[in-house]
Amino acid sequence: MPGIDECLLEAMTLPGARGAAVVDWTSGLALGTVGDAPGGDHETTAAEAAELARLAAEHRAFAPAAGSDWSEETPVEDLIISNRDSYHLLRFVRTTFDSSVFLHLWLARSEGNLALARIRLGEMAGRLVLG
């Protein structure tokens, strides 16, 4: 099972990948980064992405329907933010403990495949070993 560094390197093999990070959404700290960061600063990007992740994770409006097997702690699976030239995909990492970690992938819109990236990031999140 891959650790943070291996997971980030795998994320960078996706078509159009510009940069990737593993971020703790409660603190806003990047646990690992690779590639470029929007605006050139991984720490600022991690803190700003963590605000979005925290907003989605803590609000019941985004919770799954009753009877779902998704943890009450993180009701959101992923977030997709798109702009004129790129996609940002934030994928929450499910763990057996109270995880507050997500993967952030930054893709060039002209080269990236959002559907493929979402599938592959979900697979990576499922295999990621934290610790």
Distances (CA, A) of 105 to 6, 49, 59, 60, 131: 14, 11, 23, 25, 21
Residues 6+ apart with CB under 8 A from 102: 22, 23, 25, 49, 53, 90, 91, 92, 93
Average pLDDT for 33-52: 95
Residue type, 129: V
Instruction: Answer yes or no: is pLDDT of 70 > 60.
Output: no
Higher per-residue pLDDT: 68 or 88: 88
Question: Could you read off the pLDDT of 74-101 as tens digits, one per residue?
Answer: 668 899 999 999 999 999 998 766 678 9
Q: What is the pLDDT at residue 68?
A: 57
SS3 of residue 71 by DSSP: coil
Residue 42 — very low, low, confident or very high, per pLDDT cuts 50/70/90?
very high
Angle 101-106-108 (CA atoms, 0-180°, nearest 5)?
Answer: 165
Residue 122 — very low, low, confident or very high, per pLDDT cuts 50/70/90?
very high
Higher per-residue pLDDT: 58 or 22: 22
Asked whether 103 and 127 are in contact (CB, 8 A), the reply is no
Parse the chain into domains and list their residue ranges. 4-127
Regarding the domain with residue range 4-127, which homologous superfamily does it belong to in the CATH classification?
Dynein light chain 2a, cytoplasmic (3.30.450.30)
SS3 of residue 22 by DSSP: strand
